Structure 1
Amino acid sequence: MRYDNIIWDFDGTLFDTYPAMCRDLGKVMDSLGVPVPQEDLMARFTVSRKAVLTWCGEQAGLPPEEIDRVYRAWVAEHGQPEAHPFPHIREFLARFQAAGGRNFVFTHRSGSVHDYLAGADLTKYFTDVVSAGTTYARKPDPAGNNYLIATHGLDRERTLAVGDRELDILAAKNAGIHACLFSPEPQETAADHRIRELTELDDLVSLDG
């Protein structure tokens, strides 16, 4: 195989969480008396959580920290939104692991990432999962990537990070590993590779080679 290790982002890469997150944040904004279009939330979620909270704060005339507090309180009351892995993820993870590859996660999401993975019966496919914002600095800081590389003895030349946002790509490049942008939309990127569909990963990592 071309790569022995893959460090995955979670939201928008492994799991299709953005639609539910946009729905819930939209309800929070409604409760503040400031309805906003879902497409405006989605456009900013796909940049970063900070971007969407800052924009919502501007619409409501509130600091982004207050929007974040209200949103977290809403989630605490109603529970994490339902979300599922993207198509082809389960099959790819299993085949990559069976071929000797190792899967890791470096995400901004905290403890709930384990709940989502366990609920989809995917935990067994991952060697380690680390969260930014709790133990490690947030992307594009490479701290989480560097921890995984050092702890598990990963060869940087044979390690690929897969993410849907440019901050994922920059976190990978800052760690000296290869980066793959997963996005159906064309955009400027520092990534070494880009894919529109996850099925393209088979050829990218030379899974059958």
Structure 2
Amino acid sequence: MYKFVIFDLDGTLLNTLEDLADAGNFALKAMGFPVHETEKYKYFAGNGIPKLIERIVPEKCPRENVEKVHGIFSEYYGKHCMDKTQPYKNISKMLAALNQKSVKTGIATNKDHDFSVKLVKHFFGDKIDVVCGRRNGFPKKPDPYSVNIILEQFKADKKQTLYVGDSNVDMKTAENAGLDSCGVLWGFRTKKELIDSGAKYTADSVEQLYRIITDNKLIIDN
């Protein structure tokens, strides 16, 4: 059983894809640029919003216009980041069950810190102990900086800590932090990507993830 679990956010706990795509396409339209299908945002996301913006703008886009798209995106997303976003099925029940077992939970994400805190507070309340999002001037995943902050706050033993995410960035983050990793298959990326990136475990359901963490069955009361 793991006593500490650190989660990614987008594609792991929350399905944020449509709101990210809507914000990205709104910003692109505002600048007169071509838009993208929602599914493509699964691969634009994962390395933080600045990198997402670089990926969605036209090739060789002037830096000034990239920054304008970023500004429009951030303003729109700040107002609409909860329009369509929802926790994946049974995530909230799993987090509550982990709390009952005194498992400490944190979130290390490349999503901007303020957006992350807003979403976590709205959807999960006090079910998450620590949130560490991207801040300007600090390393982002796969650098283990954010994970190490959480480990220090928890005074956690790395051997008793599991990192859970949905992308190659997450699996490499776990590796760089010296943690076991679990790739979830309901998120933005593929099982092959997760395994190729070093996932120790993969989980195709929240119930399976809970068993990996606790060695127990998650009881779902409908």
Offset at residue 74 of structure 1 (A): 3.2
* Structure 2 CA distance for aligned equivalents of residues 113 and 52 of structure 1: 16
Q: In the alignment, which of 172, 178, 186 is matched to residue 191 of structure 2?
A: 186
Amino acid at match of 1:112: F
Question: For the Cα contact (< 8 Å) 1:29–1:35, is it kept in 2?
Answer: yes
Question: For the Cα contact (< 8 Å) 2:141–2:170, is it kept in 1?
Answer: yes
Task: Name the SS of the counterpart of 1:106 in structure 2.
Answer: strand
> Structure 2-normalised TM-score?
0.82
Please say if 1:112 is aligned against 2:115: yes
Q: In the alignment, which of 188, 193, 198 is matched to residue 206 of structure 2?
A: 198
Question: For the Cα contact (< 8 Å) 1:96–1:207, is it kept in 2?
Answer: no
- Pairing 1:14-33 to 2, within 5 Å after superposition: 14-33=13-32
Match of 2:35 in 1: 36
* Structure 2 CA distance for aligned equivalents of residues 119 and 86 of structure 1: 14
Deviations 1:18-75 (A, max 9, x none): 2211122112112222222314632423443455322323347333444323322333
Question: For the Cα contact (< 8 Å) 1:32–1:60, is it kept in 2?
Answer: no
Unpaired segments ≥5 residues, structure 1: none
Question: For the Cα contact (< 8 Å) 2:183–2:201, is it kept in 1?
Answer: yes
* Structure 2 CA distance for aligned equivalents of residues 85 and 126 of structure 1: 13
- Pairing 1:121-140 to 2, within 5 Å after superposition: 122-134=124-136, 136-140=138-142
Match of 2:7 in 1: 8
* Structure 2 CA distance for aligned equivalents of residues 8 and 195 of structure 1: 13
Unpaired segments ≥5 residues, structure 2: 218-222
| CA spacing shift, 1:182–1:88, aligned 2, 3 Å | same
Match of 1:80 in 2: 81
> Structure 1-normalised TM-score?
0.86
Task: Name the SS of the counterpart of 2:132 in structure 1.
Answer: strand
Deviations 1:124-155 (A, max 9, x none): 21221112334742101101111111222101
Question: For the Cα contact (< 8 Å) 2:183–2:202, is it kept in 1?
Answer: yes
Q: In the alignment, which of 155, 159, 163 is matched to residue 157 of structure 1?
A: 159
* Structure 1 CA distance for aligned equivalents of residues 53 and 73 of structure 2: 9
Q: What is the aligned residue count?
A: 206
| CA spacing shift, 1:123–1:136, aligned 2, 3 Å | farther
* Structure 2 CA distance for aligned equivalents of residues 171 and 51 of structure 1: 17
Which region of structure 1 is more displaced relative to structure 2, 79-88 or 60-69?
A: 60-69
Task: Name the SS of the counterpart of 1:126 in structure 2.
Answer: coil
Question: For the Cα contact (< 8 Å) 1:34–1:59, is it kept in 2?
Answer: no
**RMSD between aligned alpha carbons?**
2.3
Which region of structure 1 is more displaced relative to structure 2, 89-98 or 197-206?
A: 197-206
Which region of structure 1 is more displaced relative to structure 2, 84-93 or 30-39?
A: 30-39
